[in-house]
Amino acid sequence: MAKAAAAAQSGLEKYTSGGFKTVIEQCEGCGRVVEVETNRYCQTFLSPEAKWRLGICNFATHAKPEVITASVKVNPLKASKRAANKGKK
Ligand code: SF4
């Protein structure tokens, strides 16, 4: 029992050893946030700020990148003419 508690303790110590930086505002709501001694760290990345520098963090559980799709209007008359002409050539 004491071994398990010690193992759990050592697992959390990695966050306070200095390598991990605290999460940033954009990480709010993410499932990978761990709270250790009133500070909050990311389970996955040492520096959460770096993951958000170029856009949305690809491991975020609370935010997904927005996919922009362009809708193209097709004129049915022109489309049928185009299809008919395609067969002639
Ligand atoms: S996975 Fe990304 S969004 Fe989630 S806490 Fe870590 S850095 Fe923040």
Give DSSP secondary structure letters for 34-74.
EEETTEEEESS-S-HHHHHTTSS-TT-SS--PPPP------
The answer to whether the CB of 62 falls within 8 A of the CB of 42 is no
**How far is Cα 62 from Cα 71, in angstroms, rounded to an integer?**
27
Q: Does residue 44 line the site of ligand 1, with CB under 6 A? A: yes
Q: Give the count of domains, the chain.
A: 1
Confidence (pTM):
0.65
How does pLDDT run across 55-75, given as a tens digit for each residue? 999 999 998 888 888 888 999
The answer to whether the CB of 63 falls within 8 A of the CB of 57 is yes
Label residue 7 by pLDDT band (50, 70, 90): very low
Domain that holds residue 20: 2-88
Say how many Å lie between the CA of residue 32 and the centre of ligand 1.
6
How does pLDDT run across 8-24, given as a tens digit for each residue? 556 788 888 888 999 99
Q: Strand, helix or coil at 42?
A: strand
